[in-house]
Structure formats: structure tokens, C-alpha cells
Amino acid sequence: MIDPQDVLRGAQLKLVRARVLVSSLLEEIDRVLTTPTQGSATPNPDGTFSAYYRPAAEPTPVMSLVLGEFAHNARSALDNVVTSLVVSSGGTPKSNHKFPVFKTETAWRGKVATPWPGAGPLAGLSQEDFDLIEAVQPFHADEPDRHPLALLAQINNADKHQMLHAAMAYTAQDADQRVLEVVPPLPVEIVWTPPRGTLLAAGAEATRYRFTDSSPSSFGLKLNWPLSLLFRDHLGRDVYFFELNDIYVAAALAVRPWLDPPR
């Protein structure tokens, strides 16, 4: 016999595990993005110099593995809560019982609301529990595809059924390169950089610059290269690293009414 409180305790442990995983993943991403890179300048025939992306730290498949583990724990915590609610209402959990996540109201009505309460993924749940789950659905958002719960379901399904996501570095979408320091202190102008949001491969040209006066025979130049990181699945769908914490928070808030009910 299933004890619904045991199920809820398990769901809570899964969320704790998801928090640990996403925190460690974000720490590793921060390390990769902030590790300084050194390289020599390559002179060009037009008098400019090129610098190339040769990172000292790169995204690894281990990041993708941790991403999948994070998504699995967070997603299964949602489903476990539904199992607990089914048992608490006197029902028997079936294979189709789960925490539904829908990006369109039409799909929600067809697959969840219309069959309920006798069938569907929320069969047997009370009106109150049904309403709480309906209230957090992605179809309420302005951009349902980017809703954290929609992204959670997307990551989990791709990782579970298809393959690991690819972790990729790219030029940041909210900042541009700039010169931080020049030795000797001469004026330098950046004449070309990859567009914002460009995926980077090791060895690719990352910036091109020139001295506005004559070029010195030797020099040192420090640039900031604002980078970011994304995870891409087998269908080419991207999840940005800065969305990961929002995904965890959305999952935790979605089940909070049952894991941390008002007193």
C-alpha cells in the first residue's frame, strides 16, 4: 500500500536533489565562462590583427549529463505529487497519471479538462487540486514555449528518449567586446566581432582590431569577450543557461501547495 505522505517526502527529496544539481551546473558554467584565455595576435595584410577563440575551459558532455539528471529529478517530483494526490483521494495510480504540462489551452481542454474527473492524467483529483495545476500551465504565459515548465518537459523528454543535449558557447546577446587594457597604452579600435548570439568553435576568429596610429612591434592587449552558454537538443531547440534557475523555481512553486501547504 502506498503512503501518500511517503510519496510527498520523496518528491521533496527530488526537488532538493534538483537544486543541488542545478547549482553545481551553474557553478561549472560560470567557471567555463570566466576562465581567462590567452593567445597571440595574428597580423592581417590590411594592418589589422585577429584574435581567435582558443578557450582554456570549454563546455563538456558532463554538463549535459547533469542537465538531464536535474530535469529528471524536477520533472518526476511533479509527477510524484500527482501520485500522492490520487492515493489521498482513494484512487489507484495508473500509468497515465502525471503532472500535465501544456502550451495551448486547446490541448489542455482536450487531454486533461474534458476527460476529468473520470479519466486523463488528473483522473480522481479534487476540483481544488485540478485548479492549482491548471493555474501553473504554460499556456497562460505570453510565450508558452519559453515557460520554465515547458522547458523542463522539453529537456526531460529529449534527454530521456533521444540523446544528451549539446553544450555550446556563444557570444553573449546582451554585451559587446571592448578593450580593457593596452601595453604600451596606445589607442586601439575593434573593427569586427561575431554578431551577438554567434556559436563559437575553438579556432574561430573572435575579434579583429587595429591600432589607430602606427602599430607597435610588440604589445599586450586585454579584451573582454562576453560569452554565454546554451544547451541544444536533437531538434535544434535551445535552452539558455540563465533559464535553468527559473526552471527549478517554477517546478518548486508548482508543487508548493502540497509540499508546503498553508497552515
The per-residue pLDDT for range 31-50, each reduced to its tens digit, is: 999 998 887 889 999 999 99
Q: Does position 262 have pLDDT exceeding 70, yes or no?
A: no
pLDDT for 50 equals 95
pLDDT for 37 equals 83
The per-residue pLDDT for range 105-152, each reduced to its tens digit, is: 999 999 999 999 999 999 999 999 999 999 999 999 999 999 999 999
The per-residue pLDDT for range 157-198, each reduced to its tens digit, is: 999 999 999 999 999 988 899 999 999 999 999 999 999 999
The per-residue pLDDT for range 195-240, each reduced to its tens digit, is: 999 998 888 999 999 999 888 989 999 998 899 999 999 999 999 9
Residue 170 sits in which domain range?
4-259
- What is the domain count for the chain? 1
pLDDT for 63 equals 97
pLDDT for 38 equals 80
pLDDT for 212 equals 93
Q: pTM score, two decimals?
A: 0.91
Q: What is the 3-state secondary structure (H, E, C) of the chain?
A: CCCHHHHHHHHHHHHHHHHHHHHHHHHHHHHHHHCCCCCCCEECCCCCEEEECCCCCCCCHHHHHHHHHHHHHHHHHHHHHHHHHHHHCCCCCCCCCCCCCCCCHHHHHHHHHCCCCCCCCCCCCCHHHHHHHHHCCHHHCCCHHHCHHHHHHHHHHHHHHCCCCEEEEEECCCCCCEEEEEECCCCEEEEECCCCCCECCCCCEEEEEEECCCCCCCCEEEEECCEEEEEECCCCCEEEHHHHHHHHHHHHHHCHHHHCCCC
